[in-house]
Amino acid sequence: MNTNVFRPIKRGIAWGVTLALSVGGVRAADREAAARSGRDAVLSEIRARCAGGGGPKVNYRLFPLPPGAVRPTGWLNDWARAAAEGITGHLDERADVFKHGYGGYHFDAQGVKANGTGWPLEQCAYWLDGLVRLAYILNDPALIAKARSRLDPVVDGVNGGGESFVYWQPRDILVAEMDKANGLFNNWAHSHMGRALVAYYQATGEKRILDALVKVYRDYPLPEFQAGFYPVNGMVNLDPMLDTYMMSGDEAILANALGAIRRPNFQKIVDQWNGGEISHGHTVIFYENVRVPALMYPWTGDRRLLDATLMVLDWAERLHGLPMGLVSGEEYLAGIGATRNVETCNVAAGPWTFHWMLRVTGEGGWADRIEKVFFNAGPAPIARDFQTMSYYQCPNRLSMSMPVDRPKNPSQEMGDSYSFTPIGHPVLCCVGNCNRIIPNYIIGMWMAMADGGFAATQYGPCSMRGTVADGVAVEIGCETAFPFQDEIRFVVRPEREATFPIGFRIPRWCRDPSLDVNGQAVESKPDDMGIAKIHRSWRSGDRITLRLPMHVEITRGTETPYPQDKYFRKRSLSALTEIHNPFACVTRGPLLFALPIADGGPNEPVKDAVFSYAIDPATARDAKVVRAPMPAHWSWELDAPIRLEVPAVRFDWQPTELQPLPAEPVAAGKPAAITLVPYGCTKFRVSMFPVAAE
């Protein structure tokens, strides 16, 4: 029974957006024109807020574009469409958590409380955030209708009298002191609905959505922050709070955020992190919590806040970093190893923090990290048709029984964490969160610069529409097969000739980039942000070519023990306190390469596959690049458009859970040649290789 007693209010429309935004009975062109007007107005408001007298003490140098400003094309559009036709577009048909979540009533599902709260608040918000972003990115009427039908009751519930996004319950349910376990969780889950509503407003410009955000966040009960990464913490509401402030200018919201970080406990944690006092914990909570101090750096000017976040991110990368671009998470930070796992939630959570760091600092290296995660970790736990997914991925997945000798989920025996299924796992966080991976990347491909231009910050085939130079509308098309090719071609189409800057991120891995405009070479040296700018008068049809030559690189490292934490006591491997097994990884540009083990499906590796190879880092750099045409339709097939032929050594290798890699460099074996493909194209693989003796 629906216990919501609040009546929907009449929807307010702002920024020149009309009811043409509704899906039914309206031509797609009219709907898109109205949405574009709303997006342009929202971005203008944010820029003005941050440039005016009430703006941040340390200026943002990059601003995100609203959902729909960037459209995918080429292979990236194929992947986004697969998501729309698969999990993202149909998750509510697969599990009641997504069908009924935020409905304002109780229903029967795992983790649901009697009042309709519990796990669905988190899990359903993950999905709705990804759904609404992808809907407007693709301008897909069916997805837009579905997103609106689920988010409008939240907006109308708040505007009709609700005290939070959990609109059918009093706000007391968010306060930890009232109910420590549930209050903490409800507060954490609330932040993810906040992110979904921020995206909804930015995509449409509808004032009623902003009204709901402002109402909730003006006096929102932010809890005390926590130094450790368990349990969950509602301070992660700060990022939708700050977006709401930048969109609305309501000073009570900023005052609320500033008041929370002035508490003695928060300042103590900042000092602890800066002093290297960092504890292990849950990796999803790590990625969500670690950005919190940095979020407030622009609004305080206190460099300690940014440094604290940087300190913890560096600590995690050194002690837990895996080659696909994320730290391990099983579900806790788990050290470095060929069979250490990454929970799929982190494939969304990690890049979201990197995106905020890019916004706060303007440093292009954060976009390098986003690309590394997206092109490698992004497709690995999701089936090629986006119909099934898995809870975990790991660098070396040799068979369905490897990793072995470990519980399927160390904290909860709730099913196979490695199998690809329509919901991935009985705990539905990852199948909800995986829907954020593609849209968040697409939205971040272009960002607005403080000087009025736009910067290409993440690469792939796309088109971007925005407004520059005294209101001149511009479209920039990007044709490329990046990261499978080195060349990226842009066409600039302003509605009339106009002067404005366009920036291009130069990745740190690229040693000799080049830029030309209409066939004439221009300066490609990046600035302190890692961005090369071209500031000139642009005419429709001007062409830019960016070349980012890639080179094969070999990274060496050693496996490390599991953290000596009670969480891992069930793991036999955790009893080993001395692990120094050497490994080598092969990369080219942003792509990690792996030895593929052929599969007949994500859960069906071929029998008797040969994977017992070691590589010599000195000779592996001589890998031969083999190219093939891009497929007509992209689906991350093993028959990849780029492969590496690498010299190797074949040897007798029988990996086990206690000895996943040889303890010493391999001294005996027969010369061999192996063919590697991008990690993201594989479901079974070796990407952390045994090392051959030089």
C-alpha to C-alpha distance for 117 and 209, rounded to whole angstroms: 22
Q: Label the pairing between strands 624-627 and 591-596.
A: unpaired
Q: Which residues contact 448 (CB under 8 A, 6 or more apart)?
A: 43, 47, 62, 63, 64, 65, 454, 455, 466
Mind listing the pLDDT tens digit for each residue in 35-66? 777 777 787 777 777 765 567 999 898 999 99
Report the length, in residues, of the chain. Answer: 694
Mind listing the pLDDT tens digit for each residue in 396-432? 999 876 554 444 444 444 347 889 999 999 999 999 9
Residue 642 has pLDDT above 70, yes or no: yes
Under 8 Å between Cβ of 651 and 668: yes
What pLDDT score was predicted for residue 16?
29
Residue 644 has pLDDT above 70, yes or no: yes
Tell me the average pLDDT across 174-194: 84
Class of domain 446-480+487-547: mainly beta
What pLDDT score was predicted for residue 1?
31
What pLDDT score was predicted for residue 403?
56
Of the ranges 256-260, 506-510, 512-516, 608-612, which one carries the lowest mean pLDDT score? Answer: 608-612
The tokens 């909860």 sit on which residue? 412
Beta strands of 407-497 (E only): which ranges? 446-449, 454-456, 462-468, 472-480, 487-494
What pLDDT score was predicted for residue 556?
96
**Average pLDDT of the chain to the nearest whole number:** 90
What pLDDT score was predicted for residue 52?
56
Task: Count CB-CB contacts under 10 A for residue 411.
Answer: 13
C-alpha to C-alpha distance for 40 and 61, rounded to whole angstroms: 18
285 — phi, psi (to 5°)? -65, -35
Tell me the average pLDDT across 276-298: 96
Query: Quick one: tokens of 491?
Result: 């066409």
Q: What torsion, rounded to 10 degrees, do the Cα atoms 49, 236, 210, 83 define?
A: 110
Q: What proportion of the chain, given as a percentage, has pLDDT over 70?
A: 91
The domain spans of the chain are 446-480+487-547, 552-686
Distances (CA, A) of 118 to 192, 319, 348: 14, 33, 21
What pLDDT score was predicted for residue 405?
44
C-alpha to C-alpha distance for 636 and 379, rounded to whole angstroms: 8
C-alpha to C-alpha distance for 332 and 327, rounded to whole angstroms: 10
C-alpha to C-alpha distance for 216 and 545, rounded to whole angstroms: 46
What pLDDT score was predicted for residue 408?
45
Angle at CA 643, nearest 5°, toward 593 and 400?
A: 50
pLDDT band at 549 (very low <50, low <70, confident <90, very high): very high
**DSSP-based three-state secondary structure for 289:** helix
Task: Count CB-CB contacts under 10 A for residue 301.
Answer: 12
C-alpha to C-alpha distance for 107 and 128, rounded to whole angstroms: 18
Of the ranges 14-23, 251-260, 613-622, 677-686, which one carries the lowest mean pLDDT score? Answer: 14-23
Q: Label the pairing between strands 613-614 and 582-588.
A: unpaired
pTM for this structure?
Answer: 0.94
Helix axes 119-138, 141-159, angle to 10 degrees: 130
Tell me the average pLDDT across 438-459: 96
The per-residue b/e assignment along 537-558, b for 16 or more CB within 10 angstroms, e otherwise, is ebeeebebebbbebebebeebe
Residue 22 has pLDDT above 50, yes or no: no
Distances (CA, A) of 5 to 1, 10, 97, 151, 163: 11, 16, 22, 17, 12
What pLDDT score was predicted for residue 256?
97
Mind listing the pLDDT tens digit for each residue in 3-18? 332 222 222 223 223 3
**DSSP-based three-state secondary structure for 381:** coil
The per-residue b/e assignment along 180-191, b for 16 or more CB within 10 angstroms, e otherwise, is eebbbbbbbbbb
Which amino acid type is present at position 58? V
Residue 552 has pLDDT above 70, yes or no: yes
What pLDDT score was predicted for residue 33?
72
Stronger pLDDT, 305 or 13, i.e. the higher one: 305
Query: Quick one: tokens of 116?
Result: 């309709």
Distances (CA, A) of 156 to 103, 136, 316, 511: 12, 20, 41, 53
